[in-house]
Amino acid sequence: MFEDNRFADIAYNIIKVFISIVILGAILLPLYMIISELIRIEIDVRKCVENGRDEKQCYQDYDVD
């Protein structure tokens, strides 16, 4: 298919890197979204507690036990 074996190796390596980046993104993006949501909830709960409410009530606003 390829007359120049070096070109084939370079193309193959580029494809491997691209596929690896896509797979890594598919794994890390949901993990990032979950962690950022948990951090946002924690910040909101701290603000809620600073406003004088009970910590347990603040967590119940987010259905977190």
What pLDDT, on a 0 to 100 scale, did the predictor assign at position 17?
97
Per residue in 18-63, pLDDT tens?
999 999 999 999 999 999 999 998 999 899 899 888 888 888 877 7
**In a domain? residue 22:** yes
Quick one: which H or E segment has residue 3?
A: none
Distance CA 59, CA 41 (A): 8
Q: Residue 15 sits in which domain range?
A: 5-60
pLDDT band of 7, cuts 50, 70, 90 = confident
Q: How many structural domains comprise the chain? A: 1
Chain-centroid distance of CA 36 in Å reads: 8
In the chain, which ranges are continuous DSSP H helix?
5-50, 55-60
Per residue in 13-29, pLDDT tens?
999 999 999 999 999 99
45, 59 contact by CB (below 8 A): yes
Q: Is the pLDDT of residue 4 over 70?
A: no
**In a domain? residue 65:** no
